[in-house]
Amino acid sequence: MKSVRWHTLHIKQGIASFAQERIFLDEEMRFSNKTAIYNELIALEIIQGSISIGRLLEAIEYILNKHKILHTFLTFNNDNGILEQHIGDKHHIFQLVLNQTFKNENELQDILYQTIINPNLFDLSTGRVFHCEVLRQELISNNDNRFITDSDILLIAFHHAATDRSAYQLFLNDLCFAYNTNVKWTIDEDLLQYIDYSVHERLIDMTPSRDFWLLELKDFDFEHRLSLSIDLHCLSNDQRSGFASIAQISFDKNISKSFLNYVSTHQTTPFQLGLSILYAFLFKLTHGENDLCISFLNANRYRSQLQNMMGMFVSALPCRMKINSHLSFDELVKCVQEKCISILEHSHYPLQNILTDINAHQSNVSFPQTVFDFITRSPDIDQLSFDDFDLKPIELKQSIEIAKFDFALTFIYNPMLNDEMLSCRFVCSHDLFEDMTVTKIARRFQYLIEQLFSMDSNINQTDILVVPITKLTPASYAQARIWLDERIRFNSQNSQVAIYNMPFLHRLSSGGTLSISKLRQALQHVLIKHSALRTSLYFDTNKNILMQKIIDHTDNKELFTFIESTFETDEDLNKIMHNERGNPNNFNLLTDVVCRCHVVYYKNISQKGIIFEKDVLIFNFHHALSDFPSMKMFRQDLDYAVTEQQMPMTAANAFWLDALRDCKIDRPLQLPFDRHRVSDEHRTGRGTSISFQFDNDFTKAFLTYASTYNIKLEYLVLASYYTFLFKLANNENDICILMNNHDRSKPELMSIIGMFVNALPMRCQINSNHSFDEFVQHVDTRATQTFEHSYFPLQRILAQHPHVSRPTFLDVFFGFVSFPTEHNHDEVTVGGVPIYTMPYSIQISTYETASKFDFSINIIYDTITDHWSCSIEASLDLFNPSTIYKIGQRFQTVLQQLFTSNLLDQTYQSIHESSRILPNEKILMASMNNTQTLFSSSTHCIQYEIIR
């Protein structure tokens, strides 16, 4: 759709939107007036602090003045048959309800349920579409009506004709802003209102969309109902009660991970994958019906101007799939993906128009009553922090759900949960489905998903589905040799002696001690790192081949066998070693337990969890998964893992607490974005990049400065980057970005293959009056202190800030690489053939790269040639390539100011005086300042003359 900016129409009366029409007609025609269907509710518990009721009312008044949809009423004009909306003024007498109390959780849930089904809570004909109420807990004495305190509940409700799910966060953001700032609403005549949108949407040329939907639904039998397991038969036009039969499924870590991996590897979306699963399920549930049409819900905020507008935008879109029973699941997903993409281009075309075009009446058409939705929980709503208090949403009980449709499946993805991050629920009309029937449907759906996303190779597959078995590969020749040798030559099932156990006995050095708990943690780290040590072997009779399967470590189960025993004499120890060496029951290659840790204490088992010098430590492996040379690497990795666990974490913990104290690590840096990401929007990974080299003058000045002031090159570049961000982000003086540290803190780690890099939040509080010299010294001090504590894991740093759900410093990155040219093109000879390392960049298309961050700058320094280069990468989700090109020019401009022939003068200037204005922009500004314009009339304002 062409992006022509919409403007406010300054109207108070107009036609209702298509979305309002749909909700209004649905409520009037399909449901009884005894139960409310479209009461949307948010319940928030005060968990810390207290709310001033006076300030709360002022904040709500601010929101009601800003968003006029919250006091807009709907009337049906019988003369022309049009539903109209009118902006009312009754919001000026809004009152907060304070008369309900509850004793316990059950009473609270009952109040919430009664509120949701209360048909008198709202009145669309008078504009009463917003409700706010305080529920007080009886057990806590609070007779002060000026404040809402701990454990009280703030209940906020809307009528769905006035808001949709996307608007909840907008409301809470405005509430937080207005409450914290005590701001009063000042009339903004240019602010686009929902009533303006309702007019503008009807001016869109709908002809292409009309033609699309006519073709899409051609020859479909609209009155045909899916052959679902219905218990009670009702006609499509019978009124519904709204009561629901509900079943919820929560998926474990493995299923959730496999689901998300499928999304990533097949370049689809969670919504499209969930919809594909539903189609596969309906195909089986309806015994092979292959022309399936259901509806899915779409946010429908198709213009950037609509992203921050309160109102009802959600559209219900038909989605018809003709399913070929021979399709694999992968092929089905691809078909659904293509279908969704084609539909979204025409998602603004309203359902009522689609039904009118095909001469169908909504009450007789069945497909709008089978609905799919996918909800991604926003981390911002998990806890809301105000100046004086914190709010936490209350989860509504499953039984509170209202059945808006006959058959609805909703996926819920909550990335903040460790367990059960993916779940789904069936909400079906109790007028059609009994509770037990919906439970059975849910169980069958769960079984289907387990077939699709389980790593268990023994699960049967349906005829249209392909289970992705990404973890299974043939065993190596060496593994096959050992496995066959053990079973055929030595007949392991009947053998009394194990042939391929490999025990290694160790003792501590004189005076040494070792913590058992840290040893077990370290051993777990090593086995996670080396997948061979958590691999099972089994023989696939269908393929006639030995297979290996890497076992996931998503749960906290130890990946090894841990045993403790005692000895007193050398003879005792020899017997223990003989058992480790010869016992055939020590390992089971089918269950992936191929590592044993046996601690043998001298005389008595340690009560303090410490191994002493007289005690013995035995590591035992099965030879199919390890060899003797591997033991050296095992010991090295184990040593590092133990050492890492023993680092002085107390001091590091205190340092990071202080380093990020009062830092708004969830506030994004205000860079010159071309687009702003919605809070729950996933990154595409598509990026744009520019690269440039610095000239010899800059190089000489830069190196001279670093040498003169004895500053590490990395820290000098970092100070320059902070200076640039300070200017680019409109003088933001508290900047936190991400930087990697390679964390090989000991010389012996330099030769170990492994993952050591730690990501560090690099915070800099900038005094704009400091000269660049002073600022560089400040950055040098802070960076030095930071890297002294760089071994403290990022996850533990983030754990210090449990209220922050989305740390935004992870999105802006700084990297510095220093290397000699001769190491950049290392040569290695393989089979007598020289092979050279070549530079490589992940490219998505000719002009795009893969982008890990929203914005990143990497500086590369060749220590042999003294060449400096810079690469700037940014996400195409947020930036246009032209913007990044301009940012690159500005970065060069700032650096040239800081490191020029007049170096002494420049570095004495305050940071505030540095400029990001480009030379051509300076010329343009000078030209404008020196241009005289004669106004034709003294009555014209300056703004008019400039525009003219």
Q: Is the dihedral of CA 587, 590, 594, 600 positive or negative?
A: negative
Return the structure tokens found at 797. Answer: 């740093």
- Residues 6 or more apart from 57 whose CB is under 8 A from it? 94, 96
Buried b (16+ CB within 10 A) or exposed e, 259-273: bbebbeebebebbbb
User: What confidence score (pLDDT) does residue 72 get?
Assistant: 94
- Kindly state the tokens that stand for 554: 């998503």
* Residue 230 in tokens: 């219905």
Confidence class for position 464, pLDDT limits 50, 70, 90:
very low
**Which residue pairs from 102-105 have beta carbons closer than 8 angstroms and sit at least 24 positions apart in sequence?**
102/135, 102/136, 102/137, 102/138, 102/153, 103/137, 103/138, 103/139
Return the higher-pLDDT residue of 234 and 896: 896
- pLDDT confidence bin for 391, thresholds 50/70/90: confident
pLDDT level of residue 309 (50, 70, 90 thresholds): very high
Query: Can you tell me which residue has the tokens 């072997």?
Result: 537
- DSSP one-letter string for 66-80: H-GGGGEEEEEETTT
Position 336 confidence tier, pLDDT thresholds 50, 70, 90: very high
Position with higher pLDDT, 805 vs 192:
192
**Which CATH architecture is the domain 472-647 placed in?**
2-Layer Sandwich (3.30)
What is the structure's pLDDT at 556?
63
Classify burial at 232, counting beta carbons within 10 Å of its beta carbon; exposed 0-12, middle 13-18, buried 19 or more: exposed
Decide if 593 contacts 624 (C-beta within 8 A): no
Q: Quick one: CA dihedral 299, 302, 304, 308, positive or negative? A: negative
User: Comparing C-alpha atoms, which of 25, 9, 45 is closest to residue 190?
Assistant: 9
Q: Mean pLDDT throughout 554-574?
A: 83
The average pLDDT across 372-400 equals: 79
| Distance from C-alpha of 607 to C-alpha of 385, rounded to nearest angstrom | 45
Task: Find the angle CA(722)-CA(726)-CA(732) to the nearest 5 degrees.
Answer: 125
Of 142-156, 457-471, 481-495, 527-541, the one with minimum mean pLDDT is 457-471
Give the pairing type, strands 407-413 and 370-376: parallel
Amino acid letter for position 766: I
pLDDT beyond 90 at 788: no
| In contact, 159 and 73? CB cutoff 8 Å | no
What superfamily in CATH does domain 13-200 come from? Chloramphenicol acetyltransferase-like domain (3.30.559.10)
What's residue 944's pLDDT? 42
Mean pLDDT of 424-450: 88
Give which of 648, 542, 560 is closest to 599, Cα–Cα: 560
Q: Which residue has the tokens 């003219």?
A: 948
Q: Which residue's entry shows tokens 């906020």?
A: 156
Question: pLDDT exceeding 90 applies to what percent of the chain?
Answer: 31
Asked whether the predicted pLDDT for residue 832 surpasses 50, the reply is no
Q: Using the Cα atoms of residue 588, residue 591, residue 596 and residue 601 in order, give the sign of their dihedral.
A: negative
Residue 479: predicted pLDDT = 58
- pLDDT at residue 96 greater than cutoff 90: no
In this predicted structure, which of 79-93, 183-197, 281-295, 545-559 has the lowest mean pLDDT? 545-559
Q: Which ranges of 486-627 would DSSP assign to H, the alpha helix?
A: 516-529, 570-582
Q: What is the pLDDT of residues 421-430, one digit of tens each?
A: 899 999 999 9
Residue pair 689/871 in contact by the 8 Å Cβ criterion: yes
Instruction: Give the 3-state secondary structure of residue 871.
Output: strand
**What is the CA angle 661-737-867, rounded to 5?**
140
Residues 528-557, mean pLDDT to the nearest whole number? 68
Taking phi first (over 0 means left), then psi (-120 to 50 degrees means alpha), and beta for anything else, what does residue 743 get? left
What tens digit of pLDDT does each residue of 679-708 get? Answer: 556 677 788 989 999 888 888 888 888 888
Q: Do domains 13-200 and 664-670+685-927 have the same CATH topology?
A: yes
Domain residue spans in the chain? Answer: 13-200, 268-301+313-378+402-453, 472-647, 664-670+685-927
Please provide the average confidence, as pLDDT, over all residues in the chain. Answer: 80
| Residue 757 pLDDT | 67
User: Which tens digits make up the pLDDT trace of 623-653?
Assistant: 777 766 666 667 666 665 555 555 556 667 8
pLDDT computed for residue 462 by the predictor: 38
In the chain, helix, strand, coil percent, each to 5?
35, 25, 40
CB 443 within 8 A of CB 248: no
Give CA–CA dist 726/910, Å, rounded: 12
Cβ atoms of residues 368 and 354 within 8 Å = no
Residue 295: pLDDT band by 50, 70, 90 thresholds?
A: very high
The candidate with the shortest Cα–Cα distance to 412, out of 248, 644, 616, is: 248
pLDDT value of residue 440: 86
pLDDT at residue 771 above 60? yes
Q: At what angle do helices 435-453 and 253-265 cross, to 10 degrees?
A: 60
pLDDT at residue number 756:
60
Residue 846: its H or E element: none
- What pLDDT, on a 0 to 100 scale, did the predictor assign at position 931? 61
> 2-11, 541-550, 598-607, 707-716: which has the highest mean pLDDT?
707-716
- Structure tokens given for 828: 């290695």
Q: Which has the higher per-residue pLDDT, 787 or 848?
A: 787
pLDDT of residue 385: 78
Strand partners, 834: 829
Give the confidence band of 389 by pLDDT, cuts at 50, 70, 90.
confident
Higher-confidence residue of 562 and 609: namely 562
Ranges assigned E (strand) in 264-415: 291-298, 315-322, 370-376, 384-385, 389-393, 407-413
Average pLDDT over residues 126-150: 82
What does the alpha-carbon distance between residue 129 and residue 72 come to, in Å, rounded to a whole number? 8
Q: Span 235-250, mean pLDDT?
A: 83
Residue 570 token pair: 């050398």
- The three-state secondary structure class of 544 is coil
* Cα gap 931→927, rounded to integer Å: 6
Q: What Å distances lie between residue 647 and 499, 644, 653, 795, CA to CA?
A: 40, 5, 11, 16
Question: Has residue 349 got a pLDDT over 90?
Answer: yes
In whole angstroms, give the CA distance from residue 41 to residue 377. Answer: 16
Q: Where are the beta strands (DSSP E) in 644-802?
A: 686-693, 734-741, 758-765
Distance CA 345, CA 361 (A): 25
Token duo for residue 398: 């499953």
Calculate Rg over the CA atoms of the chain: 33
Summarize the confidence of residues 718-724 as an average pLDDT: 92
**Best CA proximity match to 161, nearest among 74, 87, 35, 46:** 74
Q: Read off the tokens for 426.
A: 């069936």
The CATH homologous superfamily for domain 664-670+685-927 is: Nonribosomal peptide synthetase, condensation domain (3.30.559.30)
What one-character DSSP code corresponds to residue 683? P
pLDDT band, residue 150 (cuts 50/70/90) = confident
210-219, 323-332, 472-481: which is most confident: 210-219
Tokens 């470590």 -> residue: 553
Q: In whole angstroms, what separates CA 914 from the centre of its chain?
A: 37
Tens digits of per-residue pLDDT, 651-686?
A: 678 888 889 988 888 888 889 998 887 655 667 778
Options 3.30.360.10, 3.30.559.30, 3.40.190.10, 3.30.70.260; CATH of 268-301+313-378+402-453: 3.30.559.30
Residue 187 is encoded by which pair of tokens? 């009339």
Residue with tokens 């909840």: 168
**Higher model confidence: residue 92 or residue 909?**
909
- Span 440-450, mean pLDDT? 85
Per-residue pLDDT at 471 exceeds 50: no
HSE-CB for 504 with a 13 A CA cutoff: 15
Average pLDDT over residues 593-597: 82
What's the pLDDT tens digit per position in 155-194?
A: 999 999 999 988 988 999 999 999 999 988 888 888 999 9
Instruction: Name the residue with higher pLDDT: 395 or 193.
Output: 193
Name the percent of the chain lying above pLDDT 70. 78
What is the distance of C-alpha 455 from the center of its chain? 24
Core vs surface per residue 519-540: b (16+ CB within 10 A) or e: bbbbbbbbbeebebbbbbbbee
pLDDT of residue 831: 36
Place of tokens 């046996």: 598
Sequence letter at residue 730? N
Name the more confident of 94 and 64.
64
Task: Report the pLDDT value the prediction gives residue 834, as an integer from 0 to 100.
Answer: 43
- Reading the block at residue 225, the tokens are 């109902």
In whole angstroms, what is the distance from residue 298 CA to residue 372 CA? 10
- Helix or strand (DSSP H, E) at 444: helix 435-453
Query: Could you tell me which residue, 932 or 462, shows the higher pLDDT?
Result: 932
Which pair of tokens denotes residue 704? 């001279």
Q: How far apart are CA 339 and CA 294, in angstroms?
A: 13
CA torsion angle 879 883 884 888 (round to 10): -160
Residues in the chain: 948
Please check whether residue 467 is in contact with residue 277, taking contact to mean a CB–CB distance below 8 angstroms: no
